[in-house]
Amino acid sequence: MMQQLTNSKLAIDTLRISEAKYRSLFENIDQSVIYLDAKGVVMAVNQAAEQLLGLPRDMLIGRKFVDSCFNVIKEDGSVFPEEQQPLLLTLRTGKPVESVVMGLFNAERQSYIWVAVHSVPEFRGDEHQPHQILMTLTDITRQKQSEGKLSMASVIFNNIGEGIFVTDKDKKIISINEAFTTITGFTQQDVYGKNSHFLHSKKNNLKIDDELHNGAREVNSWQGEIWRRHKISMDFPSWTTVSEVKDSSGNVAHYVHVFMDITHFKKTQDHLGFLAYHDPLTKLPNRLLLKDRIDHSLQNALREGSQAAVLFLDLDRFKGINDTYGHAVGDGLLREAAKRIKNLVRKEDTVSRYAGDEFVVFMESISDAKNPAKLAQKLIDTFNAPVYIKGYRLKISTSVGISLFPQDGKDTDTLIKNADAAMYRAKNEGRNNFQYYSLELNTEAFEKMSMECALSQSLERHELILYYQPQVCLKTGKLVGVESLVRWMHPSLGLMSPKQFIPIAEESGFIVPLGEWVLQNACMQMRRWLNEGLQVNKMVVNVSAIQFSRSDFVATVERILHSSGLAPSYLELELTGGSFMDNSEQTIKALNQLVAAGINLTIDDFGVGCFSFNNLNRIPVKKLKINSSFVVDVLTNANNEDITRAVIALGHGLHLQVIAMGIESKAQQNCLANLGCDEGQGYLYGSPVLPWSSIFQQLMKQTMFFQIQTD
């Protein structure tokens, strides 16, 4: 009996020791282990499982496992159905389930962990239903992340726009991506096993291997421009990065080549480089390239003792053509001008579009100072031929200035500046000619520049003044209108007539704001006279061809009439014949708009300048003004009398009135009246005076200036 007790105690002790060892093993094993009963309720959880799930065991034991581990997901991210989970499959079938990948939410990390689940049933005796389940969980989170990275790398490899190919350590190609085939035309079959040099073009001047294995420095990557072959079309430039991939021992295992086709980039780069030194419109060298070439040539000329020349060209009246026909026609004219110049110069000469309608020709190594003059005359002659742009027949000319090296300057800037000054002398000499530079031109250029600067400030300094001169009827002597005439009170030169500054205003473009000021103030003065009860029928205002050619001119006139409160019927505009030289639809339309608004139009200086008599059939003018040059000698020069008679007859034949300017004597007045001239203007009736002068006020109040006497 005692022996039986001893054996029983020994068995119990052995069982306790065995259980303790089992519990120690259960708790300390690295494998996550969970015991569950036949209903899926957690019976035991070891420490590894507790840490893996991020939940204390007291929250797991006694609860169904599926309730504890919420948000179980599959590998594709979808919810893992409860009935398909390993635990329930084992309970339902009584068979083990191995290596099922599940995503379990870790409460402590607030993120998903990936586990491989093994579910093993345990049975009692002959029972067919397991009484408990042993479930092990293996953490495969890092493995899944690595697989994700590999998958992402694969997606990037096959979808990236850059071409990629991988070689082994012997430079043999083992893999390519889709972009590689798209860029080069070569397939995997074409290049597999071939040395990467197979893809290099003969245009390359470098070897990547030399760059990668330069003994002077440690290099594990290279980047640069390489020309590559294409299977079908031409070789192309690529921007390539080559990187070494080393194994765990630090030895090179692979080379990864990433490249892109930079053909378009190279073309853009070349285009930008071209634009940096060339004019985009004419494709001629610009100022920067011109200066560089002249600087270089002058150094050679200085060493060799040779001569050189700069020709500065400006297209005469280009602004009027550009404003009248539009910039598209103007651009076409500039391209044609560039072509004509290029066709005349020597191969070694440089032609540059300097600015706007200005061109520069640089002649190097000239043997004779007369050679530039010969070229200048050829240039003038070639521009005298008509130019046809977009259906328009244009007639232009050019003025040319010439400076010589070394006598007129020993550097580029001086030579160009002096040639520019000579060009302005050519313009002052009547245009369509050339002039050599001389020392006195510097003074003229400085004075002209000073005049332009002072004139541009005349409006804000209130230096412009309007004078007024009466116009009378030659039959009755009555006042029929008043012409406004602008004067400039120069701060140092005193009162200046229009002939002294209007050409400068037209050349500089200042004529537009100046003309608008004249029109505004003349209309306001007319409104004041009418308010005072003075009997004035017309306010006559001169308009430059440049003003009239602007597309907004009609709107400007209407705006000024509205702001001054003057009715259009009181305004008469005098336009020079040059305003109508193009006879374009735009010009005719503008003229008709002015007339439709109630404004009268007069052609000024009729009989001189370029004016087509055919235009009189199309333009709605009411009056012709005979130039004073014919009136001065109308009594002594039979030709002038005949011309004057013809102009008057022409005007009357077209139902136009005719006014003569420059009448200074009664004899001239009587002669013009006998010839049938309708109106007159000149010193005989009054010189231009200020509106507030006592003489003018007295004249304005008279209804009759003179008793017309006829012989």
Provide CB contacts within 8 A for 553, sequence distance 6+.
543, 547, 590
**Encoded amino acid at 101, one letter:** V
Residue numbers of the domain that contains 1: 1-25
User: Would residue 153 count as lying in a domain?
Assistant: no
- Give the mean model confidence (pLDDT) for residues 167-181: 89
- pLDDT higher than threshold 80 for residue 22: no
Task: Please give the mean pLDDT across all residues of the chain.
Answer: 83
Is it true that the peptide bond before 406 is cis, omega within 30 degrees of 0? yes
- Kindly report the CATH number assigned to the domain that includes residue 185: 3.30.450.20
Q: Residue 527: is its pLDDT beyond 70?
A: yes
Q: Give dist(CA 41, CA 44) in Å, integer.
A: 9
Q: Are residues 75 and 201 in the same domain?
A: no
Q: Are residues 444 and 348 in the same domain?
A: yes
CA distance 615 to 587: 11
Pick from 127-136, 204-213, 232-241: least confident:
204-213
Q: What gap in Å lies between CA 363 and CA 349, rounded to an integer? A: 5
The model's pLDDT over 120-164, given as tens digits with 9 standing for 90+, comes to: 888 887 777 888 888 898 888 887 776 666 655 666 667 677 888
Burial class of residue 373 in the structure, from the number of CB atoms within 10 Å of its CB (0-12 exposed, 13-18 middle, 19+ buried): middle
CA distance 69 to 298: 89
Among the candidates 267, 298, 317, a domain finishes at: 267
pLDDT number for residue 245: 85
Question: Which CATH number does the domain housing residue 488 bear?
Answer: 3.20.20.450
Do 671 and 578 share a domain, yes or no?
yes
The neighbour count for residue 305, using CB atoms within 10 Å, is 7
Q: Could you tell me the maximum CA-CA distance found in the chain, to the nearest angstrom?
A: 183
Considering the domain architecture, whether residues 543 and 612 belong to the same structural domain is answered as yes
Q: Dig out the tokens for 597 from the structure.
A: 């608004």
CATH number at residue 317: 3.30.70.270
CB 241 within 8 A of CB 255: no
pLDDT for 218 beyond 60: no
Query: What is the distance of C-alpha 235 from the center of its chain?
Result: 33
- For residue 117, which of 72, 62, 78 has the smallest C-alpha distance? 72
**Pair (436, 472) in one structural domain:** no
Distance from C-alpha of 496 to C-alpha of 486, rounded to nearest angstrom? 9
Q: What are phi and psi of 137, to 5 degrees?
A: -125, 125
Is the per-residue pLDDT at 6 higher than 60?
Answer: no
> For residue 146, is it within any domain?
no
> For 384-397, what is each residue's pLDDT tens digit?
888 898 888 888 89
Q: What pLDDT is attached to residue 209?
A: 57
Residues 492, 346, single domain; the answer is: no
**555 and 407 in a common domain:** no
Residues 56, 39, single domain; the answer is yes
Does residue 7 share a domain with residue 36? no
- Beta strand 252-261 with 350-355 is unpaired
Q: Is residue 145 situated within a structural domain? A: no
Residues in the chain: 711
**Unique residue bearing structure tokens 């067919």:** 128
* Least trusted range by pLDDT, from 27-31, 345-349, 612-616: 612-616
Higher-confidence position of 698 and 464: 464
CB 434 within 8 A of CB 380: yes
Q: Does residue 519 fall inside a structural domain?
A: yes
List, for residues 591-602, the tens digit of each pLDDT value. 889 999 999 999
pLDDT for res 468 = 93
Distance from C-alpha of 407 to C-alpha of 410, rounded to nearest angstrom:
7
**Is 425 a residue whose pLDDT tops 50?**
yes
Give the separation between CA 537 and CA 203, rounded to whole angstroms: 84
Picking from 363, 352, 372, 365, the residue whose alpha carbon sits closest to that of residue 290 is: 352
User: Contact, 344 vs 359, CB < 8 A?
Assistant: no
pLDDT value at residue 398: 92
Residue range 550-572, pLDDT digits in tens: 878 899 999 999 999 999 999 99
Same domain, 307 and 260: no
Domain count, the chain: 5
Q: pLDDT confidence of 216, banded at 50, 70, 90?
A: very low
Residues 449 and 480 in one domain: no
Distance CA 651, CA 670 (A): 19
Per-residue pLDDT tens digits for 70-81: 678 887 778 888
Q: Let me know if residue 711 belongs to a domain.
A: no
| Amino acid occupying residue 304 | E
Q: Has residue 707 got a pLDDT over 50?
A: no
What average pLDDT does the segment 528-533 reach?
Answer: 89
Q: Are residues 446 and 491 in the same domain?
A: no
Question: For residue 99, is it within any domain?
Answer: yes
Are the C-beta atoms of 52 and 137 separated by less than 8 Å?
Answer: yes
What percentage of residues in the chain have a pLDDT greater than 70?
Answer: 85
- Please give the average per-residue pLDDT across 522-541, as a whole number: 91
In a domain, 545, yes or no: yes
The residue out of 453, 485, 500 marking a domain boundary is 453
The CA distance from 249 to 442, in Å, is 80
- Cα 100 to Cα 69, 136, 567, distances in angstroms: 16, 11, 98
* Confidence at residue 710, expressed as pLDDT on a 0 to 100 scale: 41
Amino acid letter, residue 573: L
Query: What percent of the chain has a predicted confidence (pLDDT) above 90?
Result: 31
Position 654 scores a pLDDT of 86
More reliable by pLDDT, 642 or 564: 564
The whole-angstrom separation of Cα 671 and Cα 635 is 7
- How far apart CA 73 and CA 52 sit, in angstroms, is 16
Question: What is the arithmetic mean of pLDDT over 401-422?
Answer: 92
Give the contacts of 326 (CB within 8 A, at least 6 positions apart): none
Q: What is the mean pLDDT of residues 25-45?
A: 85
273 domain-assigned: no
Domain boundary among 267, 299, 319: 267
Residue 217 pLDDT exceeds 50: no
Q: d(Cα 629, Cα 637) in Å, to the nearest integer?
A: 11
Q: What is the pLDDT of residue 210?
A: 56
The pTM (predicted TM-score) of the whole model is 0.48
pLDDT of residue 270: 74
